[in-house]
Structure formats: structure tokens, C-alpha cells
């Protein structure tokens, strides 16, 4: 019954999509972390010569979902690339705008890297250090107070004697959501002072970054962060592992809780800031948009997302073979439903 209902809904949506003005290329929005992988796949599909190269835009995960969920018609995005799972609120927003059926694909893993300019002092940080450096309020002497720390050495004498200056993702980025969850909330909720707060008080205490200078929001893509680190050798920045892999001549990564980011540590989930990556797709668009089927098939193919695939060369941590085959089966089933 469920498969039948999905097929009927997809057919109805497909009729809506097909009745709109035709579009001759795939549109992908979303995560700046997934952007280099999606771009590489798009270029590979375009080189095949059968369809136009998909257009990939780096909007951030949250902004991508807003674009993706804005409507079911052909004028809306086909795919949202995401560095976190879709939320219930986002699914509700999609449904409210006619996007009733969404297919999610796990494409691999990535890690949030804490980086600074190569040749600058090296950092070895714990998640608790990062929390106390950038949270708006922190526990001091039994009370939650506005963050008083302005130099790393105030947190730990072993850290570099540099000002706390962190370039971090703005709220439209999935990287920001993951950082809040695995760093701020994880460290914050261990404090007795926080456990004594109301639920709303805990939310504010554990999810809010400071606004007095040491944390600087960056709304654009990671290329901006590389430029900022080159110009400001006292700063650190949060970015995706793929950007470290592609720029090791320019930046270096901090160890987090004693673990360095690598393909191995991220793939084994030993690196504390590892996270899964996804594509979210409108099934109804597969039949209506030339190249979407090819884009999805290429993205989960062994030559792209496998252990020896070209996406691993760009920093993607591949799924285990059985898990990748499960995602390929999802794509085959998706294509079979809409044909």
C-alpha cells in the first residue's frame, strides 16, 4: 500500500512538473560542504555529452532546504545537498508547498575541521575548549555569565597565547547546526549550572554563540574562509575536511580531543566532529528534468563515491561497500517508480 501511494503521489506531482515550462538542466542547492563533491559529479555528468552539466549552487544547508521546499514545480530546485539530516519542520514546510514525497540519500561522511594558516601556532583543542571560547554564556564559579574569555591561554595554559578569533559558519549552514550539536550542546550540558536551568534557559545557554567579537559569522562558502586565514594568521576557522585536503599547502588542522582529522578517523567515527552527508531529491522531477537520473546514478556509483572513487580524492569519506550499495538500490528503486 505504501509503495502504491508513493507511486500515485509521485505521478501526480510529475504531472504538475511536466505541465510547467521545460528545463534542460538539473539544479542543485545546499551545503557548502557537499558543494565540491556535487560540482565534481555535475562536471562528470556533463562530460558524458548526453545532458547539460547540472548547475550547483552553494547556499548552505538551511537556505537550500528553504529553496528546495518552496514548491514542487519545475521552477524549483531538484536536489538539496545537506550536511545534516532534514528536520521535521523542514519536511512540514516541503509538504505545505506541495513537496509531499522526498527521497534522502546518504552519500558519505565528512568532518568539521578547525583550521588555521600553515606556519601559524598549532592547536590541540578539546570540545570543552571550543565551547568556552565561543559560547555566549559559560559557567564560572557556579554561575552562568557572559563569556569572559578573550585569549586561548585563559582557557588552558598549553594553548597558544593568541586572541580568540574564530571564523564560523552563519546560521544558514548545516555546519553551524552540527557544530552546535556536537560541540556546544555536548559540552554545555555537562555543566551543573546548565542542568539547573529551565528548558528554554538551557537552549539559550547551549545553542548561542557570542556576539562580542571572538566569533565571526561567515555566510558565504569556504573559499572566503581560506582568504581570511591567509590574511589573519591569529585566527582559526571551521570548515569541511575536503577543503583541508585540497589546501594542505595553505592551512593546517587542529587535533580535537586528541584525534587528528583524516579519512580513516572520520570513516571510523573516531574524529569527534565527523558527520554524515546527504542528498535530498524530488522524485517527481526525475522524469521531468533531463540529467537528474544520470546525476543521482553517478553520485552513488563506485567510481564516484566508492573507496577508490574520485570524490575520495576531494576529501569525501566513503561509505562502506554494503552501505553504498544500499544507497544505489534506493536510486534504482526511485528511477523505477517514476518511469
Same domain, 248 and 140: yes
Structure-block grid coordinates of residue 274:
565527523
Q: Are residues 207 and 326 in the same domain?
A: no
Percent of the chain with pLDDT over 70: 93
User: Using CA atoms, how far apart are residues 127 and 65, in angstroms rounded to an integer?
Assistant: 28
pLDDT tops 80 at residue 337: no
Q: What is the CATH number of the domain that holds 309?
A: 3.40.190.10
pLDDT of residue 338: 64
Query: 300: which residues sit within 8 A by CB, 6+ positions away?
Result: 105, 107, 324, 327, 328, 331
Model confidence pLDDT, tens digit, residues 126-159:
999 999 999 999 999 999 999 999 999 999 999 9
Task: Label residues 21-54 b or e (16+ Cβ within 10 Å = b).
Answer: eebebbbbbbbbbbbbbbbbbbebbbeeeebebb
**DSSP assignments along 117-145, one per residue:** ETTSPP-EE-HHHHHHHHBSEEEETTEEE
pTM above 0.85, yes or no: no
pLDDT in tens, 166-205: 999 888 788 888 899 899 999 998 888 888 888 888 888 8
| Pair (296, 255) in one structural domain | no
Note the pLDDT tens digit of each residue in 263-299. 899 988 899 999 999 999 999 999 999 999 999 999 9
Q: Are residues 334 and 290 in the same domain?
A: yes
- What's the domain range around 167? 119-274
Q: Which residues have CB under 8 Å from 98's CB, separation 6+?
A: 13, 16, 71, 72, 73
Q: Are residues 249 and 138 in the same domain?
A: yes
Please tell me whether residues 55 and 187 are part of one structural domain: no
Surface-to-core class of residue 231, CB atoms within 10 Å of its CB (0-12 exposed, 13-18 middle, 19+ buried): exposed
Q: How confident is the model at residue 313 (pLDDT cuts 50, 70, 90)?
A: confident
161 and 246 assigned to the same domain: yes
Amino acid at each position: 500500500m505504501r509503495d502504491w501511494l508513493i507511486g500515485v503521489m509521485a505521478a501526480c506531482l510529475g504531472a504538475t512538473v511536466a505541465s510547467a515550462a521545460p528545463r534542460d538542466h538539473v539544479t542543485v542547492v545546499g551545503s557548502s560542504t557537499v558543494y565540491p563533491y556535487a560540482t565534481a559529479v555535475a562536471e562528470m555528468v556533463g562530460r558524458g555529452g548526453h545532458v547539460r552539466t547540472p548547475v550547483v549552487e552553494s547556499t548552505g544547508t538551511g537556505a537550500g532546504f528553504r529553496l528546495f521546499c518552496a514548491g514542487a514545480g519545475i521552477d524549483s530546485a531538484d536536489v538539496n545537498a545537506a550536511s545534516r539530516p532534514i528536520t521535521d519542520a523542514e519536511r512540514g514546510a516541503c509538504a505545505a508547498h506541495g513537496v509531499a514525497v522526498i527521497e534522502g540519500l546518504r552519500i558519505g561522511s565528512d568532518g568539521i575541521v578547525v583550521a588555521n594558516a600553515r606556519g601559524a601556532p598549532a592547536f590541540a583543542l578539546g570540545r570543552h575548549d571550543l565551547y568556552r571560547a565561543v559560547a555566549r554564556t559559560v559557567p564560572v564559579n557556579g554561575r552562568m555569565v557572559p563569556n569572559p574569555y578573550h585569549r586561548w591561554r585563559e582557557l588552558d595554559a598549553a594553548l597558544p597565547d593568541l586572541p580568540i578569533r574564530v571564523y564560523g559558519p552563519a546560521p544558514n549552514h548545516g555546519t553551524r547546526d552540527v557544530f552546535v550539536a556536537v560541540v556546544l550542546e555536548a559540552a554545555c550540558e555537562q555543566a551543573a549550572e546548565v542542568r539547573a536551568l529551565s528548558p528554554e534557559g538551557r537552549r539559550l545557554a547551549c545553542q548561542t554563540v557570542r556576539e562580542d567579537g571572538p566569533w565571526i559569522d561567515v555566510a558565504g562558502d569556504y573559499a572566503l574562509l581560506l582568504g581570511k586565514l591567509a590574511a589573519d594568521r591569529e585566527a582559526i576557522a571551521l570548515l569541511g575536511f575536503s577543503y583541508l585536503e585540497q589546501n594542505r599547502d595553505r592551512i593546517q588542522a587542529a587535533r580535537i580531543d586528541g584525534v587528528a582529522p583524516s579519512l580513516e578517523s572520520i570513516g571510523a567515527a573516531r574524529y569527534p566532529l565527523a558527520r554524515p552527508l546527504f542528498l535530498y531529491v524530488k522524485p517527481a522531477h526525475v522524469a521531468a528534468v533531463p540529467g537528474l537520473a544520470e546525476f543521482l546514478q553517478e553520485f552513488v556509483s563506485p567510481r564516484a563515491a566508492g573507496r577508490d572513487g574520485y570524490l575520495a580524492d576531494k576529501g569525501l569519506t566513503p561509505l562502506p561497500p554494503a552501505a553504498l550499495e544500499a544507497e544505489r538500490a534506493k536510486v534504482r528503486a526511485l528511477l523505477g517508480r517514476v518511469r
